[in-house]
Structure 1
Amino acid sequence: MKKLFVALGLLCTVSSAWSQSNINDLLAAGVEDAERFTTDYLSPISEGVLYSLAGSWINTGEAKPLGGFEISIVGSMSGFKNKDDKKSFVMDIADYESLRFEDGSPSKTVASALGDIQGINVVIEDENGLFSESFELPSGLASEDINFIPAGFIQGSVGLIKGTEVKVRFLPKIKTDDVAVSLYGFGVLHDFTSHLPADKLLPVAISGFIGYTRLNGDYNFTDTNFIDGENQRIENRFNAWNFQAIVATKLPVINFYGALGYISGKSETDVLGTYTVTSGPFQTTYEDPFSITKKTSGASATVGTKLKVGFFRLHADYTLAAFNTFTVGAHFGFR
């Protein structure tokens, strides 16, 4: 999965985490136990992806004039290296029907999809203890020395009526044997200072921005210990909103900007296909066993700078939020 991670970026981070999650093995304990564990396991990475998707829209607070445009290539990294609370969770056996820890512990701190805790074994058994199977719980991305969630896309901006600029972003659909991913988004920036009589004389722009980003992804997987079946896959949908108030300088060459914002989003993960449990105490078949929904929201604060040299521009900024994000972009613009 590391090659997929490098090649496809953001969705491959999720796919890499999912490939380790032993979801097929967990279904041998029943749908309820598999869904409960998978929800806790994937929750932090779903949150991180939403923060990564929502950001990286702005590089100034000044709206382009009518007909002005900019084409951008933007990349970002949302880090979690020092976020221990996102890299693990407490698994309480009392919350599960058919799982127990191999050493008999009532609860343990285990890895989330972002973490690195290895060597924790669980046992699936029936209520009489007559039949059982054991396997190791998954670790996460940190075990592969991956400590950030990447995002990348092409973005375009064009000036409309006085003080208003529209933005679009997209990632064309990319497919491999296992993964398919696509992304699109749109946003509107309005420069309130453009309505002031001294607009051209003021060295500062004050503006507001609203942006929406959607990521669709599919991941096919079939490697299991206890499960047979067909067409086994997950389908991901991430929807992220970003609301920002921006203050930026308006100078000829180098500018600085800052923003306060609010991020809100929802991820939906559907586990689809046929899953036939062939070992353990609960041998049965599941069709499209469950779906997981994760909602997240929180404040953000961004500081950044932009360099303009003729038609070419560069920018870099850093956002403080539940997942801090570093963004860089290269731009070609007119007016």
Structure 2
Amino acid sequence: MKKIYLLIMIALVSFNAMAQEDVVDFLKAGAHDANVLAKPYLKPFGEMLGKGMNNGWYNSAKPHKLFGFDLTVTASLIQAPSSAATFDIAKYEDNLQEFELKNPNNSISPTVSGDMENLPVLTDKATGLSEITMPNGTGMDFLPIPMVTAGVGLPMGFELKGRFIPEIDIEDAGKVGLWGLGVQKDIKDYIPGVKHIPILNVSALVAYTHFSSEIDIEDGGPDGKLEISAGGLSTRLIVGANLPVVAFYAGMGYGKSNSDFNLLGTYNVGDDIPVVLKDPIKLGYSTSSFDANVGMRIRLGVIALHADYTLGEYSAITAGFGLSFR
């Protein structure tokens, strides 16, 4: 399992590191303006992270039989829409207290998932002598999220699903932890006519995943760190057909996610005059939408391979393998 921990950390640490550097850069604008500017900048990362928590919960519309179980490793690639690559500072300028656009005609700035050459410049309102160049993005409009999920069949057509990674500290990369719990229920027998179709399966799923990470930041003193957490609630109606080797499935339902970024510590951002900021940035994001996915699973004895595609504003491709019995 340690290798899975490493995969999850590697997948997220590149974005975490970029977020760390650029969030600290925003502090030059002061705590209030830094929060105003950092929120749209980090929005794609926050929403991709939250959305990613909802994937990989199932690869069949049929729950396990009593005491049947599976252990599945998946990887989801969450794609941000093209509209999330930039944001218009002019829409937030009225909320800025200390700074304003130096050139109102150059107000389009990249988000963390975008990439631009002609970056907007902000100047302080009081004197016009201090300038801040907006940070560039990573140019990565996707986020890979590995996951390990286990399931066990219970009486009355229920299947209990779970995810758990105890909080671990991987060298200097930071800390990461994850847990999740879900229930899938066979509802085929409650639908007139459907229960008499042998290969057709219908089930309902509700599941929740919580992720947390922490990265130490030297600029923030002994308590300096960037805390990132995310949670995703997923409900699905799943319909599928199970053939001897191949199974097809499709799911549709409501999903909700949230993510939070907290920059903690004490930061001295003044040049000529010291300016000390304590725990300066706290950002929160939330999304909710109806999503749908379609996929296929191939069983080779106890080995199962699967892949599916999730449609939505933040689309995703998920693929994985595992051991499955009954």
After TM superposition, is the score higher than 0.5?
yes
CA contact (8 A) 1:10 1:150 kept: yes
Select the residue among 145, 149, 154 that pairs with 2:148: 154
Q: 1:258-273 counterparts in 2 under 5 A?
A: 258-273=250-265
CA contact (8 A) 1:121 1:134 kept: no
Read off the aligned partner of 1:108 and give its amino acid letter.
Answer: S
SS, match of residue 62 in structure 1? coil
Select the residue among 224, 243, 249 that pairs with 2:235: 243
TM-score norm. by structure 2 comes to 0.89
Whether 2:115 is the aligned partner of 1:116: answer yes
Please name the residue that 2:211 is paired with. Answer: 215
Q: Over aligned residues, Cα RMSD in angstroms?
A: 2.4
Read off the aligned partner of 1:301 and give its amino acid letter.
Answer: A
Whether 2:182 is the aligned partner of 1:191: answer no
Distance 2:218 2:284 in 1: 23
Select the residue among 289, 293, 298 that pairs with 2:280: 289
Read off the aligned partner of 2:177 and give its amino acid letter.
Answer: S
Please name the residue that 1:134 is paired with. Answer: 131
Read off the aligned partner of 1:155 and give its amino acid letter.
Answer: T
Select the residue among 82, 85, 102 that pairs with 2:83: 85
Query: What's the CA shift string for 1:240-298, capped at 9, x where partnerless?
Result: 10111010112221010111121101112111000112316x63212112311111111
The structure-2 alpha-carbon separation of the partners of 1:163 and 1:7, relative to structure 1 and needing over 3 Å to count, comes to closer
Distance 1:194 1:163 in 2: 10
SS, match of residue 218 in structure 2? coil
CA contact (8 A) 1:119 1:136 kept: no
Please name the residue that 2:3 is paired with. Answer: none
Distance 2:131 2:191 in 1: 70
Query: What's the CA shift string for 1:295-329, capped at 9, x where partnerless?
Result: 11111111000111111111110010121111111
CA contact (8 A) 2:250 2:295 kept: yes
Query: What's the CA shift string for 1:118-156, capped at 9, x where partnerless?
Result: 342534436144xx33343112221xxx33111112110
Runs ≥4 in structure 1, deviation > 4 angstroms? 194-201
Please name the residue that 2:176 is paired with. Answer: 181
Instruction: After TM superposition, give the deviation of residue 43 of structure 1 in Å.
Output: 1.4
Aligned residue pairs total 317
Please name the residue that 1:53 is paired with. Answer: 53
CA contact (8 A) 1:230 1:275 kept: no
Q: 1:255-334 counterparts in 2 under 5 A?
A: 255-279=247-271, 283-334=274-325
Distance 2:62 2:183 in 1: 12
Distance 2:78 2:28 in 1: 34
Q: 1:85-104 counterparts in 2 under 5 A?
A: 85-92=83-90, 93-102=93-102, 104=103
CA contact (8 A) 2:237 2:252 kept: yes
Distance 1:287 1:310 in 2: 57
Q: Which runs of 5+ in 1 are unaligned?
A: none
Distance 1:177 1:170 in 2: 22
Please name the residue that 1:36 is paired with. Answer: 36
Q: 1:8-23 counterparts in 2 under 5 A?
A: 8-21=9-22, 23=23
Structure with greater helix percent: 2
Distance 1:291 1:317 in 2: 35
Read off the aligned partner of 1:34 and give its amino acid letter.
Answer: A
Distance 1:201 1:29 in 2: 64
SS, match of residue 141 in structure 1? coil
Select the residue among 177, 184, 199 that pairs with 1:203: 199
CA contact (8 A) 2:8 2:147 kept: no
Q: Which runs of 5+ in 2 are unaligned?
A: 1-5
The structure-2 alpha-carbon separation of the partners of 1:13 and 1:211, relative to structure 1 and needing over 3 Å to count, comes to farther
SS, match of residue 162 in structure 1? helix
Read off the aligned partner of 1:291 and give its amino acid letter.
Answer: K
The structure-2 alpha-carbon separation of the partners of 1:6 and 1:138, relative to structure 1 and needing over 3 Å to count, comes to farther
